[in-house]
Amino acid sequence: MAKHNYFVAGTDTDAGKTLVTTGILEAANRLGLKTIGLKPVAAGCEATADGLRNDDALKLQQAASVKLGYDSVNPVALAAPVAPHIAATQAGRTLSADRIAALCRGSMMHSADLLLIEGAGGWRVPLNGREMLSRVPQLLETPVILVIGMKLGCINHALLSAEAIVRDGLRIAGWVANRVDPGMACYDENLATLKGLFPVPLLGEVPHLAKPSAAAVADCLDVSSLLAAGPA
């Protein structure tokens, strides 16, 4: 069973969840740890000879040191690149938080030091007419790593996301500042504001990377606080 489990959430679509998740996995790999990355729900998958495949899920599969089959990494693969509940409806499927959590629990039974579950979009992404994807980390009782896409408006997005996470009864284990907009005005001032408002560890600042990679992100991160915490 995995010793440390975390759910990786973003402040918005394209906040950089996958990039940061692969970077955290790589940072832990460098310490000789056994790591697993999951993307339980992925919308925007390409048809291949092996079935539907999602680029983000493939990156997580590659970055992890424990090599799981694709269906374990991404058990719910949807073709349309739209919100999961819409993509599921188009595919004639119904999504359920209980079912997705059960699929995650199966992968969580593998022996690992660190297991990361990447969400989809922001915190409040619908699965169906009554459930949000945020229900899955609630059911799994996993602390949350919040990836903040550093751009105009990020403070509002970050604070609202954090409020919702805490209201859902979950702990924010740390956050990452990911500079998605290289031309962001007053970057340092925005970062300072976030540091003052978030009483949780800043795992690192990721600059805008010309050639994004797990290795480049890992160079910017300190994951010690994630590994020092008690099992979750």
Full-model pTM? 0.96
Tokens standing for residue 45: 């998958």
One of 39, 59, 151, 195 is an active-site residue; which one?
A: 39
Give residue 230's pLDDT: 58
39 is catalytic: yes
Would you call 75 helix, strand, or coil by DSSP? coil
Tokens standing for residue 49: 């000879």
Residue 19 near residue 155 (C-beta atoms within 8 A): no
| Binned average pLDDT, 10 residues per bin, the chain of 232 residues | 92 95 98 98 95 97 97 96 96 96 94 97 94 98 98 96 97 97 96 95 96 97 87 51
Give residue 228's pLDDT: 85
Full set of structural domains in the chain with CATH: 4-228 (3.40.50.300)
